Amino acid sequence: MNIDSWIWIWKASLIGTLGVFAVLAVVVTIGGAYDVLQLLKSLKEPQDKS
Amino acid sequence: MHSMALLGTNFSTIDWVIVVGYLMISLVIGLFVKQYTNSMVNYLGAGRAVGPWLGIATMTGTELGLVTVMYSAQKGFTGGFAAFHIAMIAGFVTLIVGLSGFIIVPLRRTKVLTIPEFYLRRFNEPVRVLGGIVLAAAGILNMGMFLKVGSVFIVVVTGLNDETYAVPFVMTGLLILVLVYTTLGGMVSVIITDYIQFVVLSFGLLITCYLAIDQLGWDHIFAKVEARMGPEGFSPVVSEEFGPSYITWMCVMGLVMCAIWPTALARALTMKSEGALKIQYSLSSVSFVIRFLIPYFWGICALVYFTSAPDKFAHFLAPDVEADVTMQAMPTFISHILPSGLLGIVSAGMIAAFMSTHDSYLLCWSSVLTQDVIAPLTGNKMDDKQRLFCTRLIIVLIGIFIWFWGVFYTNLGDIWDYMAITGAIYFTGAIPLLIGGLYWRQASSAGAFASLLSGCCAIVGLSPILNPLEKRIQELFLLNVEQGTLLTPARVGIATVLLTTVVFIVVSLLIPDRDKNGEIISKKLDQ
């Protein structure tokens, strides 16, 4: 494989991954906040029952 | 270390305020969630109640540590775009594991808290104890450089005068902070601070990439690397730094990092369902790419940036540049291109990344030593309270060890290769144990024990042992090849994986497990 092909591959990898990660960051930020609340709630429940 | 004061930094008072404020918030969270750590399941496994999105955040928070950013940037600086293959392999293997559930799903079904606990349930007590000792020893050695590397980042970014005791001072401060909230909060505080870190760092990483490209120019970055490094800067196959054996070794590392390494598996064991686990792994494959790819890119951008002012940055561009100098390239670069304020946010995110990796590792190794070494050796008579105390005490002891290691171990070398080979002491033995233990009925305790012992051969890959050994082999066989081309850490690692696998299979077949009547038994854990 020549150098131009490698350059093309790494350019596409970088742009593609950064794009996907940007979307993932937004989704995980929102979904993760909800999960944090659920986690604290579930850990609190056994204590409340006792 | 070269004086960074001469190179300048954009780090100012407002950045200090941001960093200190962020650290204080982390400490408050550690104190706040203490109320939830009333049992070992909650302390070590967050009550097995983590949802998929939080799972992705915490997986990323753990695996995207400051040390990862530092060694990856170093690799990008020295290897160019050819280093990208490591990131792509890591992401691809994680995606395959996530989609198939290979290792992680059957392991979660066993409901164990630690890897050695799996060894006990699948094999026997001696395998568990030996596995715990090997795992903790390799893991603690593996994290020996974390504190030093993290402190170097902070010292360089902030422009603290390195002629004084800046690095040991920063090391001490960071270590105290990490120890306080890890010992107080356990896995719950780790997970929540991982989440905050994910949010801060994700956006910090993306904005920094944008600013780097904006400042240097997209095509200019590639053109400069091509001019300086030629095809070696892009092709991992022709690169002297990488090559076929290195790529093969990275395939093994890709599996290890997501499905064998205990800090990653600890996250899998906290997930509330198999579905959530698969989602976590499949989507985290993006994070497994990003955690390498972005720092590689920063290292490459640092190289391009320095070549634009070769006189000012001459010591970075010297042909025989030392590893401890290349390690400073990325922090120097970002301290120049990021404006004040944003530099504080990114630095706070990096310090959070540093802390999250530390707390996860400290929690992992200390829990292994408590649950799988000390508790069995004391007749399993320790109650939850004693185990919690023991775990917290070991966390402090490990902290003291890595402080001394960071101060007195000065021969850093290539950090990634060091970490790969110290980790290999554990995972070369663990690969056949986990895969064989989960999927092969004939896997026996004797085979597991022998495999764990043979995995210790990976220590040969450490440069203080490897270099004299290679020299001796060359003298014995009258070989005339360049030093470092015959025996490499990658080749030692691959050879050790093959050795442990063969030992595991052969010994399992020769010495199978038997029941009380002497009959051969084949085990498979309930699923």
C-alpha–C-alpha distance, residues B184 and B204, integer Å: 28
Name, of B189-198, B269-278, B435-444, the range with top average pLDDT: B435-444
- CB pair distance less than 8 Å for B235 and A25: no
In this structure, what CATH number is given to the domain that contains residue B394? 1.20.1730.10
Nearest CA in chain A to B297: A14
How high is the mean pLDDT of chain B?
84
C-alpha–C-alpha distance, residues B453 and B456, integer Å: 6
Q: Cβ distance B330 to B295 under 8 Å?
A: yes
Average pLDDT of the segment spanning B32-58: 64
Query: How much is the pLDDT for B410?
Result: 64
In a domain, B251, yes or no: yes
Q: Which residues of A touch B35 (CB under 8 A)?
A: 47
CB within 8 Å of A34: residues ≥ 6 apart: B51, B53
* Three-state DSSP state, B11: coil
Average pLDDT of the segment spanning B55-65: 76
In a domain, B307, yes or no: yes
Lowest mean pLDDT among B287-291, B456-460, B486-490: B486-490
Query: How much is the pLDDT for B269?
Result: 76
Q: Which residues of A touch B42 (CB under 8 A)?
A: 43
In a domain, B193, yes or no: yes
Structural domain harbouring B159: 5-43+52-510
Q: 10 Å Cβ neighbour count for B116?
A: 30
Q: Cβ distance B84 to B221 under 8 Å?
A: no
Average pLDDT of the segment spanning B56-76: 83
Average pLDDT of the segment spanning B90-105: 92
Instruction: Answer whether residue B32 shows pLDDT above 60.
Output: yes
Q: Cβ distance B136 to B369 under 8 Å?
A: yes
Query: How much is the pLDDT for A10?
Result: 95
Phi and psi at B271, nearest 5°, equal: -70, 145
Residue with tokens 């164990």: B112
User: DSSP string spanning B311-346?
Assistant: TTTHHHH-TT--HHHHTTHHHHHHHHHSPTTHHHHH
Q: Which of B51, B60, B237 sits opposite A38 (nearest CB)?
A: B51
Q: pLDDT, tens digit, for every residue of B365-395?
A: 888 899 889 988 888 888 888 888 898 899 8
In a domain, B518, yes or no: no
- CB pair distance less than 8 Å for B188 and A39: yes
Shortest CA gap A2–chain B (Å):
8
Q: Cβ distance B74 to B326 under 8 Å?
A: yes
Q: How many domains are contained in chain B?
A: 1
Taking only Cα atoms into account, the Rg of chain B, rounded to an integer number of angstroms, comes to 23
- CB pair distance less than 8 Å for A21 and B202: yes
Shortest CA gap B234–chain A (Å):
6
Q: Which of A3, A25, A38 sits opposite B234 (nearest CB)?
A: A3
Query: How much is the pLDDT for B17?
Result: 94
Q: pLDDT, tens digit, for every residue of B419-453?
A: 888 888 888 888 999 999 999 999 999 999 999 99
- The angle that helices B66-79 and B329-337 make with each other, rounded to 10 degrees, is 100
Q: Which residues of A touch B188 (CB under 8 A)?
A: 39, 43
Q: Which residues of A touch B191 (CB under 8 A)?
A: 39
Query: How much is the pLDDT for B187?
Result: 62
Q: Which residues of A touch B293 (CB under 8 A)?
A: 13-14, 17
- CB pair distance less than 8 Å for A21 and B286: yes
Query: How much is the pLDDT for B43?
Result: 53
- CB pair distance less than 8 Å for A36 and B54: yes
Nearest CA in chain A to B56: A28
* Three-state DSSP state, B525: coil
Q: 10 Å Cβ neighbour count for B481?
A: 10
* Three-state DSSP state, B2: coil
Q: Which residues of A touch B62 (CB under 8 A)?
A: none
Bigger pLDDT: B111 or B252?
B252
Q: Which residues of B touch A37 (CB under 8 A)?
A: none
CB-defined contacts A:B, below 8 A: 115
Q: Cβ distance B262 to B359 under 8 Å?
A: no
- CB pair distance less than 8 Å for A3 and B235: yes
Q: Cβ distance B66 to B201 under 8 Å?
A: no
CB within 8 Å of B194: residues ≥ 6 apart: B57, B58, B60, B61, B62, B356, B360
In a domain, B522, yes or no: no
* Distance of alpha carbon A36 from the chain centroid: 15
Bigger pLDDT: B76 or B51?
B76
Structure ipTM over 0.90, yes or no: no
- CB pair distance less than 8 Å for B287 and A21: yes
Lowest mean pLDDT among A13-27, B277-291, B310-324: B310-324
Residue with tokens 């304020």: B341
- CB pair distance less than 8 Å for B53 and A28: yes
Bigger pLDDT: B397 or B51?
B397
Average pLDDT of the segment spanning B205-222: 93
- CB pair distance less than 8 Å for A21 and B235: no
- CB pair distance less than 8 Å for A43 and B199: no
Q: How far is CA B43 from CA B36, B285, B363, in A?
A: 8, 27, 9
CA neighbor of B352 nearest in space, from B192, B139, B486: B192
In a domain, B93, yes or no: yes
Query: How much is the pLDDT for B221?
Result: 95
